[in-house]
């Protein structure tokens, strides 16, 4: 298992591929990228130690706010990557980085690079 594990939660396969490509280019082949499309899969994947996560808000099975709250509580860095607006996020999660779609590859790469450079508390 890789020391760097990145969770990507996105239900649009084309956007998921764009995010995955940006992260892979930034971190290289040594990073393990976990790409899922549903809240259920995200909960399962986030139960393991992660370096960081990128969460779409509206995915198969609902919204990722519970997953986000768990990541926040565990100290795992994450960002929302969404077409929603920051005001759609519950107040307790509004301090989290928000990358609005359409995002730039540079935004994704910068977030992931910063997140893995700072060890999580998990």
Each residue's pLDDT tens digit, 53-87: 999 999 999 999 999 999 999 999 999 999 999 99
Question: What residue segments make up the domains of the chain, in order of their start?
Answer: 5-117
Q: What is the pLDDT of residues 78-118, one digit of tens each?
A: 999 999 999 999 999 999 999 999 999 999 999 999 999 87
Residue 10 CB-density burial (10 A; 0-12 exposed, 13-18 middle, 19+ buried):
buried
Q: Check: pTM over 0.85? Answer yes or no.
A: yes
Tell me which architecture the domain covering 5-117 has in CATH.
3-Layer(aba) Sandwich (3.40)
Q: What is the pLDDT of residues 35-55, one digit of tens each?
A: 999 999 999 999 999 999 999
Position 119 scores a pLDDT of 64
């Amino acid at each position: 298992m890789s020391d760097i594990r990145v969770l990507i939660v996105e239900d649009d396969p084309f956007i998921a591929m764009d995010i995955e490509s940006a992260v892979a280019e930034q971190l290289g082949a040594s990073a393990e990228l976990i790409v899922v499309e549903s809240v259920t899969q995200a909960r399962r994947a986030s139960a393991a130690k992660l370096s960081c996560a990128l969460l779409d808000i509206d995915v198969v099975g609902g919204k990722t706010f519970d997953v986000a709250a768990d990541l926040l509580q565990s100290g795992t860095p994450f960002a929302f990557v969404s077409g929603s607006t920051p005001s759609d996020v519950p107040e307790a999660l509004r301090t989290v980085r928000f990358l609005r779609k359409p995002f730039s590859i540079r935004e994704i790469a910068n977030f992931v690079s910063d997140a893995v450079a700072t060890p999580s508390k998990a």
